[in-house]
Amino acid sequence: MSHEMGRRGRVSTPVTWVRRDVSSPEIDRRHVAKTAIAGYLLLTLALLLVGWIAHHLVFHDAIGDAELDFTRWVSEHRNGFLDSMARTGSSLSDSFTVIGVAFGATVMLWATGHRPQAVVLPVALVVELTVFLTVSTLVGRDRPAVDPLGAVPSTSSFPSGHVAAALVLYVGLVVIAASLNPRHRVNRVGAVFAALAVLYVASSRVYEGVHHPTDVLVGVALGIGALFIGCKAAGLTTSPTRERDTRAADPMRVPQYESLRIGTSQ
């Protein structure tokens, strides 16, 4: 045990914490509903505030002009290979992909008895979609004034729903895996691939001319918030303070929580 504790002591600072001891098949539906509703309201208000600030300081100012110049430069330097890559990137978080992968993962988790984990993606994606539709409608930012590559969604440009959905889906799968599997190396590799997938989708949406760079940045924030709400509703989150208090009370106790760590050993 001392060897295991020593090995744990060399890992880098945890980025996020997920529980490993979630084994109860029972789901507190009232808790899930309350958490999802409260999360929707708080996240919507936060992004509306960001949108209001951006409307006055970014969209029609020097930053917005620089964004438009950049998207125009990108559109003028498109080529066939990059066009294909961008279409593939966008497809990683289109409706069919997100619904299909999330549905398959949820059914598999539920069928194997991991019901708390099965709640994460449905709740997070519903929150992400409803917040996105609300904020997009109320902020109403115009799409970049460039020739788009492919179809343009009917919603406004701010924030990027594709990027938010990609983060919820791919990072969410890593978080779920971390709650089920204590192997840190696997979690790190999964986290790297999830981050690359989100970056790929974000760059593809800008390349296609359907989003400004700040739209995809706020899309990342939306995805992080929605995923946290999904984890909170499912009971997969804990705090480092609580874990330290538990270890201090019983140093010989095997930790019940496992952190998803990203970084190199110190």
pLDDT in tens, 108-129: 999 999 999 999 999 999 999 9
Domain boundaries of the chain, sorted by first residue: 15-261
How far apart are the C-alpha atoms of 80 and 72, rounded to whole Å? 17
Is 39:184 a contact under the CB 8 Å cutoff?
no
Better-predicted residue by pLDDT, 244 or 185: 185
Please report the pLDDT score of residue 266 as a whole number. 39
Whole-number Cα distances in Å, 137 to 51, 67, 153, 161: 11, 21, 13, 12
How far apart are the C-alpha atoms of 44 and 134, rounded to whole Å? 7
How far apart are the C-alpha atoms of 101 and 114, rounded to whole Å? 17
pLDDT class of 28 with cuts at 50, 70, 90: confident
Which letter does DSSP use for residue 138 in this model? H
Q: Is the confidence at residue 42, as pLDDT, over 50? A: yes
Is 172:227 a contact under the CB 8 Å cutoff?
yes
Please report the pLDDT score of residue 14 as a whole number. 41
